[in-house]
Amino acid sequence: MTAFPYRQNYSKFRAYAHVRQYNCRTLMPTHLYFGENEFFLTRTIKQLKTHTLDQQWANFNYTEYPPESKETIPQALSDIMTPPVGSGGRLVHLPNSTLLGVCSKEILLQLESILPKIPSTNTLLITNTHKPDARNKSVKLLLEYAQVKEFPLIPQWQTQALIQQARTLADEVGVTLTTDAYKVLIDYTGNNTRLIFTELEKLKTYALGKTVNGDMVKELVSESAANSLQLANAIRLGNIAQALEFGDSEALLQAVRLINI
């Protein structure tokens, strides 16, 4: 897959691979977000919605177009040129959009015409779990006008990077862990960022301002989290016998979520 043209200019934020920002132009009304880290992707989308919309007028000014409909793209491109109702801005969201694939000539011409003319009150947000192919003409156009942010998922075997990310999240939550506690936490949660954050919030409630050690993590972090992680690994490796050892319904559901992240 072709690399993105702004790769050498991206800014790295706190905690390894929270966000990679490829294009730092300001006041650009088009945003392209992609990546497998659903936790940070979802949170950044919420932040953009909060920044763009007046909550009293959000029902009128926020539209999310599902990728299934053939009319999605024309409707979205028409909507993004419509002034917002009331106060605040307008936000048009295209999740997993076909706009990132091979588009018709008509759509490409429309996109080329609209992108430079989007009103400053409006924001076009395109999101995808996978990295778009920069060889597609529509993606090339978007890269010229969009603020691009990537939300990569830290590989499960990069333990130190995961611990560093957990430290940053712990600072955000407001809980202090010992070095061994971080190691135990990552052993239980792997690279599931949402699960790490949830368990840190649980640990904060229990700790009551005290430093959390490894034994506390073993006691409080649910065994189902560890079982789900082991089950997900077994499924990935095709180890059916091992998967059956952790095959209760709750662990199975969590394992499917882990595999799909």
Q: Which CATH topology does 159-260 take? A: Helicase, Ruva Protein; domain 3 (1.10.8)
Dihedral sign for Cα atoms in the order 156, 159, 165, 170: positive
Q: Would you list the domain boundaries of the chain?
A: 7-150, 159-260
| Per-residue model confidence as pLDDT tens digits over 21-67 | 555 445 589 999 999 999 999 999 999 999 999 999 999 999 999 88
Predicted confidence (pLDDT) at residue 221 exceeds the cutoff of 70? yes
pLDDT at residue number 45: 96
pLDDT at residue number 119: 95
Answer whether 7-150 and 159-260 agree in fold: no
Helices (H), the chain: 38-52, 58-61, 72-79, 105-114, 137-145, 159-173, 179-189, 193-207, 214-220, 223-237, 240-245, 249-260
DSSP 13-41: -SSTTS-EES---SS-SEEEEE-S-HHHH
Task: For domain 7-150, give its CATH number from 3.90.730.10, 3.40.50.300, 2.10.10.90, 3.60.9.10.
Answer: 3.40.50.300
DSSP SS3 for 67: coil
pLDDT at residue number 225: 57
DSSP for residue 163 = H
pLDDT at residue number 19: 55
DSSP SS3 for 59: helix
pLDDT at residue number 239: 60
| Per-residue model confidence as pLDDT tens digits over 162-214 | 999 999 999 999 999 999 999 999 988 888 999 999 999 999 999 999 999 99
| Per-residue model confidence as pLDDT tens digits over 4-13 | 433 333 333 3
pLDDT at residue number 238: 62
| Per-residue model confidence as pLDDT tens digits over 123-164 | 999 999 999 999 999 999 999 999 999 999 999 889 999 999
pLDDT at residue number 71: 80
Predicted confidence (pLDDT) at residue 114 exceeds the cutoff of 80? yes
Predicted confidence (pLDDT) at residue 252 exceeds the cutoff of 70? no
Q: Beta strand 30-34 with 20-21: parallel, antiparallel or unpaired?
A: unpaired
pLDDT at residue number 220: 87
Predicted confidence (pLDDT) at residue 236 exceeds the cutoff of 90? no
Predicted confidence (pLDDT) at residue 253 exceeds the cutoff of 50? no
The letter for the amino acid at 46 is K
pLDDT at residue number 2: 36
